[in-house]
Amino acid sequence: MANNDKTRAHVWEIAAQRITQHVEPTYIGDEMLRGHEDEIRARLAYSEMFGTVSECGFITNSLHGFTLGYSPDWLVGDDGQAEAKSRRQRFQVQTIVDGTPDEHVLQLQSGLVVTERNWIDYVSYSGGMPMAVIRVEPNDAMQTAIIAAGRDFEQRVQDAIGTYHKRLEAGDLRWVPTERVVEQEMHL
């Protein structure tokens, strides 16, 4: 597993979520808003072309000694699923020419690890352009690496949580309990 600033920050983020049982809200920008709308359009176009799909929520898999989660955009039959991406037109042209972008391969393979389905369709959508549907099947080597990285990440999170509790119990800190104020309550 990578040992870089992004990975270390994510370890602290997950440790904090587990300690507090709270997920802090994140900013939703124009790209994400467009993505939500385009996902609906992509799902409708996909189902018209390939048949009935079903939506589902967040799925977790704990079979590898840690819990890994994934939220498919939709399921297809008993053995498939799809992951839709809203793409700017320049990226859509590149996807049509080059295939599945490298930056999405790990997410697709992780989704297959979690759901244990036989394939995932990468659906690249850009309104006004052809929608690209690329079938991706499990890659054993990549999935083995994902599972190993997941185990390593889980150990790092557990170590961070353990160190946090030891530090609080050590008595060398002055700490004061506080109360969380939910943002929506602050504006009422």
Does residue 15 fall inside a structural domain? no
Structure confidence at residue 107 (pLDDT): 97
Q: Please name the residue ranges forming H helices in 51-174.
A: 89-98, 102-115, 140-169
Does residue 87 fall inside a structural domain? yes
Of the pLDDT bands very low, low, confident and very high (cuts 50, 70, 90), residue 26 is confident
Write out the residue range of the structural domain in which residue 43 sits: 28-153
Does residue 181 fall inside a structural domain? no
Does residue 2 fall inside a structural domain? no
Does residue 6 fall inside a structural domain? no
- The enclosing domain of 134 has a CATH number of 3.90.320.10
In this structure, which amino acid lies at residue 62?
A: S
Which pLDDT tens digit goes with each residue over 122-180? 999 999 999 999 999 999 999 999 999 999 999 999 999 999 999 999 888 888 889 98
Of the pLDDT bands very low, low, confident and very high (cuts 50, 70, 90), residue 181 is confident
Does residue 185 fall inside a structural domain? no
Structure confidence at residue 62 (pLDDT): 95
The position carrying tokens 């990549």 is: 142
pLDDT over 80 (residue 182): no
Q: What is the mean pLDDT of residues 72-80?
A: 96
Does residue 13 fall inside a structural domain? no
pLDDT over 80 (residue 185): no
User: How would you label 72-109 residue by residue, b for 16+ Cβ within 10 Å and e otherwise?
Assistant: bbbbbeeebbbbbbbbeeeebeebbeeebeeebeeebb
Does residue 7 fall inside a structural domain? no
Structure confidence at residue 5 (pLDDT): 86
The number of beta carbons lying within 10 Å of the beta carbon of residue 3 is: 9
Domain count, the chain: 1
Taking alpha carbons only, the member of 38, 30, 23, 28 closest to residue 73 is 38
Which pLDDT tens digit goes with each residue over 33-72? 888 899 999 999 999 999 889 999 999 999 999 999 999 9
